[in-house]
């Protein structure tokens, strides 16, 4: 599925904070994630980001 959301949504804000990205409220976040719904897609991406961050600092 293609996941599209405005950066003003709670999920998108959380992801942008994790990535330490500065974006305007009108920016849209586009993600391509196969076989899942929007909430699960954000959870999967957040887990991936956090796992990669922890691997970097181990």
Q: What is the pLDDT of residues 6-49, one digit of tens each?
A: 555 666 677 777 776 666 666 666 656 666 677 777 787 778 77
**Which tokens hold the place of 19?**
């990535």
Residue 50 half-sphere exposure, CB side, CA atoms within 13 Å? 9
| 32: Cβ contacts below 8 Å, ≥ 6 apart | 1, 2, 3
> Which is higher by pLDDT, 55 or 26?
26
How much is the pTM? 0.42
Question: Domain-by-domain residue ranges, the chain?
Answer: 2-56
- The confidence score (pLDDT) of residue 43 equals 80
């Amino acid at each position: 599925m293609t996941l599209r959301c405005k950066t003003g949504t709670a999920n998108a804000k959380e992801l942008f904070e994790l990535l330490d990205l500065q974006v305007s409220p009108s920016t849209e976040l586009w993600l391509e994630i196969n076989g899942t719904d929007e909430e699960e897609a954000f959870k999967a991406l957040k887990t991936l980001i956090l796992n990669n961050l922890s691997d970097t600092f181990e």
